[in-house]
Structure 1
Amino acid sequence: MDIKEIQNLIKFVAKSGASEVKLEMDDVKITIKTGSDAPETKIIQAAMPAAPQMMAAPQPVASEPATPAAPAAPKATEDESKYLTIKSPIIGTLYRKPSPDKPVFVEVGSEIKAGDTVCIIEAMKLFNEIESEVSGKIVKVLVDDSSPVEFDQPLFLVDPS
């Protein structure tokens, strides 16, 4: 990873609103913390290869995400409480298709099983297939193709029955 990629990552994290992002690749560990005037970046060179997980969960700021989500929460629980939610495990750009000329992985009405790929999230030029942890029927797609997503952002609603 070169300095230009690190600078782009810092800019991306600062714009995303995440308070902390940890990235572990081969022998490099990067932690980016935001919340002050300037983002803080810590880079560690390690002798041992890191875990295969590319991005760990950023720690959300308790006051900011709760405020915008609070008005929508009561409506969501009334109408959609029986549905399970597939959420984004990382921040990045969501793609609903494996390539531009292929059909989408899932759409409303698609039957899925645990382990089925539902979308791809690109993070730092790495394409991560997002697999469903639940089985059921897709009832709502919450994110548009090629749009940025945040950690723990709802992507799909699934009817498990």
Structure 2
Amino acid sequence: MDIKEIQSLIKFVAKSGASEVKLETDDLKITIRTGGHGTNETTYVQSIPMAQAPMAPAIPAAPAAVDTPAAPPAAEKEEASEDSKYITIKSPIIGTFYRKPSPDKPVFVEVGDTIATGDVLCVIEAMKLFNDIESEISGKVVKVLVDDSSPVEFDQPLFLVDPS
């Protein structure tokens, strides 16, 4: 695998939205981790040549941080500038995101709802414990960024709120 193939793989992973990809061949092991969908997205690449025949590796054996500033299309830039005026509510824990307290109940908040500090926005299940996620700000819910019943990571954006 040459450097061009690795660079195109990095770009593909960054565009796909995956947080981590591992690729292992007979002579090479690559792990690509992306920092998320923020404006300062960083991709970390770690490659480890496998011990077979001594050869000059095309890539350094030590972990390398590679900045891949992908220029988003104009529509994405416009959306990012619009989203910058909103406050992002992020997940405080790893678990499964639920918009409802139970399957037969209505969702906690809808897009367009006005919320106050302390209002429950969602529930995140972690290790069979259901944790109420409360708002730390007041405002209007602009966007729900996560689908119901999907896994979330620590510090993953959940909601966009307009504080005005």
Q: Identify the match of residue 102 of structure 1 among 105, 108, 133.
A: 105
Percentage identity across paired residues of the two chains: 69
Query: Under a length normalisation based on structure 2, what TM-score does the superposition of the two structures give?
Result: 0.56
Aligned counterpart, 2:127: 124
Q: Note if 1:160 corresponds to 2:141.
A: no
CA RMSD of aligned residues (A): 2.9
User: Which consecutive residues of structure 1, in runs of 5 or more, have no partner in the other structure?
Assistant: 1-16, 19-62
Aligned counterpart, 2:114: 111
Note closer, same or farther for the CA distance 1:128–1:74 as it changes in structure 2 (3 Å cut).
same
CA–CA distance in structure 2, aligned partners of residues 84 and 76 of structure 1: 14
Larger Rg: 2
CA–CA distance in structure 1, aligned partners of residues 110 and 129 of structure 2: 24
**SS in structure 2 opposite 1:77?**
helix
Q: Note if 1:67 corresponds to 2:42.
A: yes
User: Which consecutive residues of structure 2, in runs of 5 or more, have no partner in the other structure?
Assistant: 1-18, 21-32, 36-40, 44-67
How many residues are matched? 105
Amino acid across the alignment from 2:159: F
CA–CA distance in structure 1, aligned partners of residues 92 and 131 of structure 2: 10
Q: Note if 1:77 corresponds to 2:47.
A: no
**SS in structure 1 opposite 2:124?**
strand
Note closer, same or farther for the CA distance 1:70–1:151 as it changes in structure 2 (3 Å cut).
farther
Write out per-residue CA displacement over residues 11-51 of structure 1, whole angstroms, 9 at most, x where no aligned residue: xxxxxx79xxxxxxxxxxxxxxxxxxxxxxxxxxxxxxxxx
**Relative contact order: is structure 1 or structure 2 higher (C-alpha 8 Å, sep ≥ 6)?**
1
